[in-house]
């Protein structure tokens, strides 16, 4: 006969219950999600690079149509946002809740700026008649950057939630997700916009 599974609240919150993984900031299940999301993005980028090999001239032509300035601006925006999110965690760890919330608002605000810039970039492509079916390059471009934009939206929601439910653990968990969003863009930008 199987014993009913019961994990006490103390065991659930005990970082030693996870061994060395218990040292990660935030909730371990968020880290499982982060790793799985990173694997999905890595698979998409590997597919992008694989298809690029089959048509390097076509990819180079289409890549030249991207606005590198907007892509670089968005890189600066997200890196700055990640810095503000880290400041929020540091403030919350010192029990400076109001300061932590202000940094989270700044981080989420820059996330919104990222989405506006990405929207302007998409609009510019649409006015040129460039869509998801234009070429394999743009199929990957829209799918990968669109999937990333969806993660930015989710991250903004998560930052809003942890600003409201602002335990140190919640804040570390939400900011860990936000840093994953930053990291993914830092990988996407050079591969999609710059790789020659």
- The torsion defined by the Cα of 156, 36, 184 and 108, in degrees rounded to 10, comes to 10
Residue 67 has pLDDT above 60, yes or no: yes
Residue 104 has pLDDT above 70, yes or no: yes
Q: Which long-range contacts (CB under 8 A, 24 or more apart) does 111-114 make?
A: 111/78, 111/81, 111/152, 111/155, 111/156, 111/159, 111/178, 111/181, 112/156, 113/77, 114/74, 114/77, 114/78, 114/81, 114/152
Comparison of pLDDT for 8 and 170, the residue scoring more: 170
Residue 79 has pLDDT above 80, yes or no: yes
Residue 109 has pLDDT above 80, yes or no: yes
Report the percentage of the chain scoring pLDDT > 70: 88
Specify the CATH number for 25-194; select among 1.20.120.80, 3.50.50.60, 3.60.20.10, 3.40.1360.10: 1.20.120.80
pLDDT at 27: 79
Q: Which residues of 122-148 are buried (b: 16+ CB within 10 A; e: fewer)?
A: beebeeeebeeebbbbbebbbebbeeb
pLDDT at 16: 59
Residue 6 has pLDDT above 50, yes or no: no
pLDDT bucket at 166, cuts 50 / 70 / 90? confident
Comparison of pLDDT for 32 and 53, the residue scoring more: 53
Average pLDDT for 148-160 = 97
Distance, in Å, from the CA atom of 181 to the CA atom of 111, rounded to the nearest integer, reads 10
């Amino acid at each position: 006969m199987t014993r009913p599974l019961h994990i006490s609240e103390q065991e659930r919150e005990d970082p030693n219950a996870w061994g060395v993984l218990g040292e990660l900031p935030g909730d371990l299940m968020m880290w499982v999600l982060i790793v799985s999301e990173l694997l999905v993005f890595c698979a998409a980028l590997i597919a992008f690079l694989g298809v690029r090999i089959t048509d390097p001239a076509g990819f180079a032509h289409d890549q030249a149509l991207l606005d590198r300035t907007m892509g670089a601006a968005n890189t600066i925006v997200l890196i700055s946002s990640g810095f503000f999110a880290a400041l929020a965690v540091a403030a919350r760890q010192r029990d400076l809740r109001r300061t932590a919330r202000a940094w989270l608002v700044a981080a989420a605000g820059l996330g919104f700026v990222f989405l506006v810039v990405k929207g302007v970039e998409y609009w510019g492509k649409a006015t040129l008649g460039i869509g998801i079916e234009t070429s394999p390059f743009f199929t990957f471009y829209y799918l990968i950057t669109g999937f990333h934009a969806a993660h930015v939206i989710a991250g903004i929601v998560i930052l809003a939630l942890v600003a409201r439910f602002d335990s140190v653990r919640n804040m570390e968990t939400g900011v860990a997700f936000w840093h994953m969003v930053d990291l993914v863009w830092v990988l996407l930008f050079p591969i999609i916009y710059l790789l020659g």
